[in-house]
Structure 1
């Protein structure tokens, strides 16, 4: 099935990433990653922007209220849901300026995961971490290159993960005591490179295709069953949103893109996919 997407905003981001819908926010948030900005789309369709540092890699809600931001080399917490709420740092996680945070997310037990990559995408220089209750990072996967999409099955017993240069989506088994185990290939994409992902309420895995100009939906057994076509090549991430979680929001990038050829690169898009998403997993940090 082919699904068309339509722009929700102008090209407001240079490198849009990481869309997240949360009921307390009353709308969608995402990041203009390399500008270091968190963006918010309210119910009127207006976009607000907040600068948080050199990089804004991930934004996620906290169970206790407020939100977490993964910046260049640190995690930052806000105690209030307002976009402009004060942020406090949990400390610099490493000192190497050539490595930055990239994509991440939460598990069903509230742990926060964050992946990294080298600015120049040096193979094997990235890491996939989980944050301890005090914010200290513990290695889950070493020697990754571009740590990207991460989300869970509706039952919470499987996790999907992308290291972009592999060209694959991998799957793990998950339980609260052992964490992530049994990594194995789920699907190999045949169009562009896999970037961000989200999982719908039926267990379908939606994968944004960098340089592929599309989003693919794979069933839980790995069969491709839907394609969302976009008018820009660099599709970065996806999330379900809206009051009924029935809209698929899609972020895009204008990095190394001729805006004359792709004038909508960097815009936020949406599609009506005919399935619902799930509420975003919150962190207990």
Structure 2
């Protein structure tokens, strides 16, 4: 498999996560979760910059009007754009005051599936943020809620529980946002890192990053591994497609606070191009619009 892997911007992120392509700006955004910063890389010029949010951002979606919808600590959700103040949709969720969101995805209708981290007293959860700004709890007992992605035919949603080392597949009901018929799609091997963020390409192949596994793994729609791309860092955290033709993959990494053990480029944003592999645009959120 022919591929080119290159670092684009190294902000030494503690936990670089959630890359997302903004087609109007031809730019990629990503977050350093615990440090409360967002970053933007402009594809045309290679310029990049950091924005101080002031609180942890576990994930975000692109709104239909071009704003970002940030999912933060204590269940807080807010609209944001460069230079603007946070405009809260939800200020807190009483059951998540000691937790934070971790990885989110907009669905075909503009709703958002959003997971939370476990705490010392309970496991993580998966919620659905509805168009009018209400929130619905979908799953409990999650070890570590992580990467999600839709199949090209919109019939299924993949969902990662890193602690369980499993990527599940749900039947997705677009009309209601319900998730049904959960089954394990992939169970990853022990000792090779844990599955973290993920995306799905135009052919329905799933691409899953490996935290502490130094790689990106490709699976066919039947769940068979067919590719393993090595990275020069330990913690490969999330991946998305972007660029005008969606033929580039943008991958976040973590461990920038411990480069001596996790690699000289730990915490950097990478670009990966693989011959013949293309993605599709992510769905946009329409919360409150």
- Please give the range of the TM-score, normalised by the shorter of the 2 chains: over 0.9
Residue 145 of structure 1, CA deviation:
2.1
Give the conservation status (yes or no) of the 8 Å contact 2:126–2:138. Answer: yes
Give the conservation status (yes or no) of the 8 Å contact 2:204–2:221. Answer: yes
Partner of 2:151: 153
Cα deviation 1:99-158 (Å, max 9, x = unaligned)? 11111111111111110013xx54852110001233222111112121000110111111
Moved more, 4-13 or 141-150: 4-13
CA distance in 2, matches of 1:42, 1:231: 23
Partner of 2:283: 281
Other structure's SS at 1:173 match: strand
1:141 aligns with one of 127, 139, 142: 139
Partner of 1:5: 5
Alignment of 1:225-240 (within 5 A): 225-240=226-241
Give the conservation status (yes or no) of the 8 Å contact 1:13–1:253. Answer: yes
Alignment of 1:237-256 (within 5 A): 237-254=238-255
Residue 260 of structure 1, CA deviation:
6.2
CA distance in 1, matches of 2:140, 2:262: 38
1:96–1:124 Cα change, 3 Å: closer
Residue 11 of structure 1, CA deviation:
4.1
1:261–1:131 Cα change, 3 Å: closer
Cα deviation 1:32-79 (Å, max 9, x = unaligned)? 11111111101322221112232011121111332201111210013x
Does residue 48 (structure 1) correspond to residue 46 (structure 2)? The answer is: no
Residue 281 of structure 1, CA deviation:
0.9
CA distance in 2, matches of 1:96, 1:170: 24
Other structure's SS at 1:278 match: coil
When the two structures are aligned, how many residues end up with a matched partner?
A: 280
1:266–1:284 Cα change, 3 Å: same
RMSD of aligned C-alpha atoms? 1.9
Give the conservation status (yes or no) of the 8 Å contact 2:12–2:257. Answer: no
**Unmatched runs of 5 consecutive residues or more in structure 2:** none
Partner of 1:18: 18
Give the conservation status (yes or no) of the 8 Å contact 1:69–1:76. Answer: yes
Alignment of 1:251-266 (within 5 A): 251-254=252-255, 257-259=258-260, 262-266=263-267
Give the conservation status (yes or no) of the 8 Å contact 1:2–1:228. Answer: no
1:192–1:4 Cα change, 3 Å: farther
Partner of 2:164: 166
Give the conservation status (yes or no) of the 8 Å contact 2:256–2:265. Answer: no
CA distance in 2, matches of 1:127, 1:260: 31
Partner of 2:69: 68
1:123–1:94 Cα change, 3 Å: closer
Partner of 2:85: 86
CA distance in 2, matches of 1:242, 1:84: 24
1:196–1:260 Cα change, 3 Å: closer
CA distance in 2, matches of 1:141, 1:75: 19
Other structure's SS at 1:9 match: strand
